[in-house]
């Protein structure tokens, strides 16, 4: 029995769409399943800081989550990391200023302004951690970004990596979820 090329293409498309749906479902499950225990440090992954040094709503949600973890005693330090975005304001410094305004001691906040993407944040954290020796990490980011972020830190050699998601949501999160599917495989094969 011969199967036509059209049928093979149909099966291929169904397989790919099923995989996208399955993987995306796992990203949602993993992203909303916050770690309930304690860790040495929260690592906040950056996003837009405006020209006046205020945090964008999507970044503020992440930093507020790290603030909650710190206040509740679940982490002892906060590592804030990002690059210099479209407004040319260092994201790490912007997040640190915000946390200081919320009465977090400067000595408990570590700012990294070279984390232009998740991989660079993980690399910068690894270099810093060679001297600080944190053994456990809670990554704080948007729900759709948790799975890939944990994967990158695992690839860097961290075994105790957990996630906590921002509790702010936006209409474009659905599109970003699909983007995360592709980004995961980019990091799987090219980093």
CATH topology of domain 5-190: Rossmann fold (3.40.50)
Q: Which residue has the higher pLDDT, 186 or 68?
A: 68
Q: How many CB atoms lie within 10 A of CB 148?
A: 24
Quick one: pLDDT at residue 121? 97
For 71, 135, 149, 185, the CA distances from 121, given in Å and listed in that order, are 23, 17, 10, 18
> Using one digit for the tens of pLDDT, what is the confidence trace for 150-171?
999 999 999 999 999 999 999 9
Q: In what order do the strands lie in the sheet with 77-81?
A: 109-112, 77-81, 41-45, 137-141, 161-165
Following CA atoms 31, 32, 38, 39 in sequence, which dihedral angle do they give, to the nearest 10 degrees? 10
**Most confidently predicted of 111-115, 130-134, 171-175:** 111-115
> What is residue 17's predicted lDDT score, i.e. its pLDDT?
94
Q: State yes or no: pLDDT of 42 exceeds 70.
A: yes
The candidate with the shortest Cα–Cα distance to 161, out of 107, 121, 105, is: 121
Q: Residue 2's pLDDT is what?
A: 63
- Examine the pLDDT at 81 and tell me if it is beyond 60: yes
Query: What pLDDT does residue 165 have?
Result: 98
Mean pLDDT, all residues of the chain = 94
- Give mean pLDDT, residues 63-78: 98
- The confidence score (pLDDT) of residue 1 equals 55
Tens of pLDDT, residue by residue over 84-106, are: 988 999 999 999 999 999 999 99
């Amino acid at each position: 029995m011969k199967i036509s090329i059209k049928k093979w293409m149909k099966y291929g498309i169904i397989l790919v769409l099923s995989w996208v749906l399955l993987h995306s479902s796992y990203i949602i499950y993993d992203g909303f399943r916050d770690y309930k225990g304690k860790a040495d440090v929260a690592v906040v992954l950056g996003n837009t800081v405006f020209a006046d040094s205020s945090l964008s709503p999507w970044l503020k949600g992440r930093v507020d989550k790290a603030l909650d973890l710190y206040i509740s005693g679940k982490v002892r330090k906060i590592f804030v990391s990002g690059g210099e975005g479209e407004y040319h304001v260092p994201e790490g410094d912007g997040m640190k200023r915000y946390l200081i305004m919320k009465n977090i001691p400067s000595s408990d906040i570590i700012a990294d302004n070279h984390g232009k993407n998740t991989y660079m944040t993980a690399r910068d954290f690894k270099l810093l951690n060679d001297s600080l020796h944190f053994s456990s990490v809670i990554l704080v980011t948007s729900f759709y970004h948790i799975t890939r972020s944990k994967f990158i830190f695992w690839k860097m050699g961290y075994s105790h990596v957990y996630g906590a998601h921002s509790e702010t949501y936006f209409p474009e999160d659905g599109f970003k979820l699909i983007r995360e599917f592709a980004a995961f495989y980019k990091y799987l094969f090219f980093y």
